[in-house]
Structures are given as structure tokens and as C-alpha cells.
Amino acid sequence: MPATIIETHPQAHTPLPRVPVDPITLDLIENGLVAAREQMDALLFRTAMSPIIRDQRDGFPVITSRDGKLLAGQFGSPVHGFTERYDGTIEEGDIFLTSDPYECDGAISHANDWLVCMPVFKDGRLINWSAMFGHMADIGGKVPGSIPIDSEQIFEEGICIPPVKIFSKGVLQEEILRVILHNCRIPEWNRGDFHSIVAACRMAASRCVEMAERFGEAVYVSALHDLLDRNRRAMQKLISETITEEKRYFEDYICDDGMGMGPYKIACSLWREGERIVFDFSDTDPQSVGAINFLLSEQMFRMFCGQFMINFFDPQILLNDGFFDLVDVRIPEGCLLKPLKPAALSSRTHALARIFDVLSGLLGQSNPDYMCAAGFSDSPHLMYSGYDKDGDWFLLFQIGFGGIPGKPGGDGPDGHSLWPKFMNVPNEFIESYFPVRIECYETIPDSGGPGLHRGGNAMNVGYRFLAPGVLSIHDDRWLTYPWGVRGGLPGGRSTKIIERTDGRREVLPSKCDRVRVEVGDKLLFKTWGGGGWGNPLERPAHKVAADVDRGLVTREGPNATVWSCGMT
């Protein structure tokens, strides 16, 4: 039963009239929403406690209309899925929290993501929603970091919070929060991050109310409708001009599930029916016994699709939910992308990110001039935990970077993140707060795929451990190559190696938990590169020479060798 919204405005149940909005006012409101979203990020990253949010910026804000349509943000709106499943009341001053992907239609994709949704009221009338989720470094469960490789049910992955009213009419429900934090290994981080997310949502709410007061509620709400309508018109034209009725098909693979099974196929067909574009995942493999399942929200996928098409074809289009009825997403229940509860989800990052390679392959087939290679489509995790010399428990959570694919416009960047806004944690910070020394932090020469436009190089980070502890590693692309396109060659694959103090070298699986390390052991965390774009023999000589001079490729490596062989 859907939630019940309680509004106290005397005319709350009478829709505001749709009034004309002049172009200048529309631009002011549009940019006001964008600025509010950016302020949400700024507030979160300046006040959060965990490095995963504060420094690496694993948090995602959203501002929506009163009916949950996204107006500003990177991921799809979580509001519709939440309100459809929450069966209580929604009142002014209420704030909601959940971390159960199955209870919000996949708006968040594993239980480490804590989603806060806040209704925005003005004079007793609901006008907007603000929402944000952030990745909590630990939520309990069977391994530190709460992303177990060998979980078979979501119940093994830490505390899973159902949709709950964490603030009721402005009052924090302390007992509920205390129970939640009691199940986490670093409760002080979680508490700080939670309050930072709440503060960011309140910031956005105040900005929405300010705009409604400045321009008047009727003008403000009408402008929101206009922004959605404008986006729909622009995307409708884009779809009709770039997507054909001919069916296209593409597939890619997750190498394994960490439990000895794989690879797993993610397959999608694409075509246009009238003004609508259809994505059909019917040929995707069944869900995994392990934790690599990804509960792909149709809303989130529409947002991914919109981001891809806008960045490919017309970056001037403002991304919002206006075009969502033009995208038909078909995902069969029980497959890897729509597992049945209580399937494990903690390692979903590999499937989530591989979706981008699949989208690139599909859209590139329809428009070869825009085709990109496969790139660093993952967010590899490293977790190192134990007790330091003072007897205090620690948890280091790192997200790895790698090579971005070669593209029509040029080379792929070296050592970059899958998510554009992610940043690395400074090595000086890591060495100051954790018993580890970073002995190398460098790109890997020749790991980018050769091409007219070279794929970006992978990263090699060397961690020397200064305290006994245990590692968890989550990575992929150790078996399948990041493919090149239009004659470009694949990028290099990932490798994880431990150098023990007794001289032994151990090659680790790309997905593993409970790897014990002692003082002096060293981990070489090598990610993968991006595929190349175009014929390597057509790469200009001065670019090859510059790559060699900069140490990005070697004279003996495939980039220079392929080119020089072609010249002779």
C-alpha cells in the first residue's frame, strides 16, 4: 500500500495552476536546482567522517518534483520506489532512511548504501523531495567492510534497514538509530556520515523553498514541469535521429563470482518502436548463487541511458526524468540484473559498472562514429583491517582507479575512476591514519590498448602493511579483456600479487576475503587499462614518441611495437 502524504495547506489537494514561465526565470530556476545539488555534495564532503565519503566522494544527491521525478542528480530518483513500498504517513519534518535495495526497487544497490529521503514542504504543501545516499564503510556482517564474497543471501551482508521514519515531525528517533549503529563496526563513522547526509538533504530543501518564495509557488512548480517537458522534447528528437528500428545486440561478461563460477553474461538488445527506445536484457544469465547480483532499477538504467546519449550526442541537454516514458527497459525476474530476494547483492559493483560497457557497445553500433572501447568499468575495492600498535581496531577502505577507454575524440585518461566525481585519498592521509606505507603509486606502462587513440593506462599501487591484519579484494577483468573498437586493441587485465617477507609471491584471486597479512608483507594492487580506439598504425609518430618519453608506453610494449611494425 503506497504511503499517505499529509498536507496541512488549506488548498493542498487543489493542484497549483500551470502558468507561463519566461525563459530567464526558467534558466534561473534550472541553475538554482543545479547549484542546490552541488551544495549538497559540498556540504557532505566537508562534514562526513569516513574517507570513503569524505575523500573518495561516494555519495549521490537527488532533487525531485513532488511526485518523485528527478530534476537534478546523477542517479535515478529513489522517491517513487520508496513511496510505493512505504505504507505509513509522510508529514512535514519527517525524514526517511533505508538500506534495503529490495524495498526501494533498486534505487540503492546494496545494503552499504544508506538512502535518506526528505519531503520538502512549503506552507503545508509538498513541493519537492531531496534525497541522497552514501556508502557506509561498514555495516556489520561476516567480514570487515560488509561486502563478503561468499554470501548467498542479503542477510549475511550486514544490517539491512527497511524504510523507516528516522525523523518524525523533526524529531530524531534515537532508539532506532542506536539499534542500527550497534550493528556496525565503526558506529562513529556511520553516525557522522548519516547526519551529514541529512544535513545535505535539508540544505537542498531550504533552497527549493527559497526559490518557491522568490518566484511564487505557481511559477516555481510550472517551471519544474517545463524543465521536464523540455527534456522530453530534446530526448525524443535525439532518439528519433540516432536510434534505428533495426535490432542491435551486445554482450559482455563478469569474469567470476569469487566462488569458482563464471563468467557471467550480461546481454542486451536495443531497437526503436515509434518514439520509444527498447532495451531488452532477456539473454542475460540467471542470478548468481554468490554476491555479484545487481538489482538494476529501471529508473536507474533510464538515467544511465540518458547520460550516455546526452554525453554522446548533445551535452547541452539537461538531464532529468522528463524522457523516462520514452525508454522501455525489460529485465526478466531471476536474472543477474533482477535477482529474487533474498539473493546476495554486496558485490554488485562489477555488474553495475559493466552496464556502461554494454551501453557503449549498443549505442556505438547504431552510430559507429561515437563508439567507445571498453574501459575501467568497475570500482575495485580493497579493505584492510586489524589492530594497530596501540590496540585500536582500524579499517582502510580503498577504491581503485584504472584506464578510461579510447574514444572518438582522443586518448583515454590514465589512472582515472569509473565515476567522474570520485577522487583518490591522498597517500599522506592514508599513511597518517592507517598502519600502511604506500611504496608505489603509478600508472602501468603499456596497459592501455593500442589504437589511433590509446586506451588509458591502469594503476599499480603498492601497500606495505605495518600491522597484522586481513584483506578483502573485489575486482574483475582478470579473465576477460577490456576490448578495443574500430581496429583498436584490448587493454591489459588486472592482477593482484602479495610479496611475503620470506620472498614468496602469491597471485591472489580478483575476489577474495580473509587474506591474512603480516608486518612487512606487500600487496601490488594492479587494475586494468582501457581498450584502444581505431587502427594503431594510424597513430601519429609524435604521439607515440611523446608516450614513450612520458613513460606511458615502452619501446618494447605493444603500443610502440605495433606502430613501428606497421611503419616498416
Mean pLDDT, to the nearest integer, of 327-340? 97
Mean pLDDT, to the nearest integer, of 489-512? 96
| Residue 85 lies inside a defined structural domain of this protein | yes
Mean pLDDT, to the nearest integer, of 493-504? 96
Identify the pLDDT of residue 241.
Answer: 87
| Residue 132 lies inside a defined structural domain of this protein | yes
| Residue 351 lies inside a defined structural domain of this protein | no
Least confident window among 259-263, 292-296, 302-306, 416-420: 416-420
Neighbours of 305 (CB within 10 A): 24
| Residue 300 lies inside a defined structural domain of this protein | no
Q: How far apart are the first and last CA of the chain?
A: 72
Q: 253, 350 in Cβ contact below 8 A?
A: no
Q: Is the pLDDT of residue 534 over 70?
A: yes
Identify the pLDDT of residue 561.
Answer: 66
477 vs 83, more confident: 477
| Residue 364 lies inside a defined structural domain of this protein | no
| Residue 293 lies inside a defined structural domain of this protein | no
Identify the pLDDT of residue 155.
Answer: 96
Mean pLDDT, to the nearest integer, of 84-103? 94
Strand pairing partners for 469? 386, 517
Q: What is the DSSP string of 272-328?
A: EETTEEEEE-TTSPBPPSSS------HHHHHHHHHHHHHHHH-TTSPPSGGGGGGEE
Mean pLDDT, to the nearest integer, of 488-495? 96
Please report, as a single letter, which amino acid is at residue 457: N
- Residue 562 confidence class, pLDDT cut points 50, 70, 90: low
Identify the pLDDT of residue 567.
Answer: 52
- In what side-by-side order are the strands of the sheet with 495-499? 436-443, 459-465, 522-526, 495-499, 505-507
Identify the helix (H) or strand (E) that includes residue 83: helix 79-85
| Residue 15 lies inside a defined structural domain of this protein | yes
Q: Ramachandran region of residue 446, left (φ > 0), alpha (ψ -120 to 50) or beta?
A: left
Identify the pLDDT of residue 563.
Answer: 55
Q: What is the pLDDT of residues 146-200, one digit of tens each?
A: 999 999 999 999 999 999 999 999 999 999 999 999 999 999 999 999 999 999 9
Q: Is the pLDDT of residue 519 over 60?
A: yes
Question: CA-CA distance, 210 to 423, in Å (whole number)?
Answer: 32
Identify the pLDDT of residue 314.
Answer: 75
Q: Is the pLDDT of residue 84 over 90?
A: no
Identify the pLDDT of residue 77.
Answer: 86
Mean pLDDT, to the nearest integer, of 495-513? 96
14 vs 226, more confident: 226
Identify the pLDDT of residue 34.
Answer: 94
Residue that terminates a domain, selected from 190, 218, 233:
233
Identify the pLDDT of residue 434.
Answer: 97
For strands 469-474 and 511-517, give the pairing: antiparallel
Best mean pLDDT range from 103-107, 368-372, 503-507: 503-507
Cell 605495433 locates to: 562
Residue that terminates a domain, selected from 233, 254, 276:
233
Q: Is the pLDDT of residue 76 over 90?
A: no
Q: In the chain, how many domains are there?
A: 2
Residue that terminates a domain, selected from 233, 251, 269:
233
Identify the pLDDT of residue 11.
Answer: 87
Identify the pLDDT of residue 316.
Answer: 75
Look over the chain and give the mean of its residue pLDDT values, rounded to a whole number. 93
Q: Is the pLDDT of residue 565 over 80?
A: no
Identify the pLDDT of residue 365.
Answer: 86
The helix/strand/coil state of 380 is: coil
Q: 289, 343 in Cβ contact below 8 A?
A: no
Identify the pLDDT of residue 308.
Answer: 78
- Whole-model pTM over 0.85: yes
- Phi first, then psi, for residue 498 (nearest 5°) are -110, 130
Identify the pLDDT of residue 560.
Answer: 64
Q: What is the pLDDT of residues 7-60, one digit of tens each?
A: 998 887 888 899 999 999 999 999 999 999 999 999 999 999 999 999 988 999
Largest CA distance in the chain: 82
369 vs 392, more confident: 392
Mean pLDDT, to the nearest integer, of 273-281? 95
Q: Is the pLDDT of residue 74 over 90?
A: no
63 vs 297, more confident: 63
Q: Where are the alpha helices (DSSP H) in 110-243?
A: 174-182, 187-215, 217-242
- Phi first, then psi, for residue 496 (nearest 5°) are -130, 120
Q: What is the pLDDT of residues 430-480, one digit of tens each?
A: 999 999 999 999 999 999 999 999 999 999 999 999 999 999 999 999 999
Q: How far are the Cα atoms of 88, 212, 525 from residue 128, in angstroms, in the given order?
A: 19, 10, 44
Domain that holds residue 456: 372-568
302 vs 312, more confident: 302
Q: Is the pLDDT of residue 568 over 90?
A: no
Q: 450, 562 in Cβ contact below 8 A?
A: yes
Residues in contact with 404: Cβ distance below 8 Å, sequence separation at least 6, in sequence order: 375, 376, 412, 413, 414, 416, 455, 456, 530
| Residue 558 lies inside a defined structural domain of this protein | yes
Least confident window among 29-38, 317-326, 427-436, 558-567: 558-567
356 vs 81, more confident: 356
- Residue 309 confidence class, pLDDT cut points 50, 70, 90: confident
Dihedral angle sign, alpha carbons of residues 350, 351, 352, 353: positive
Identify the pLDDT of residue 1.
Answer: 62
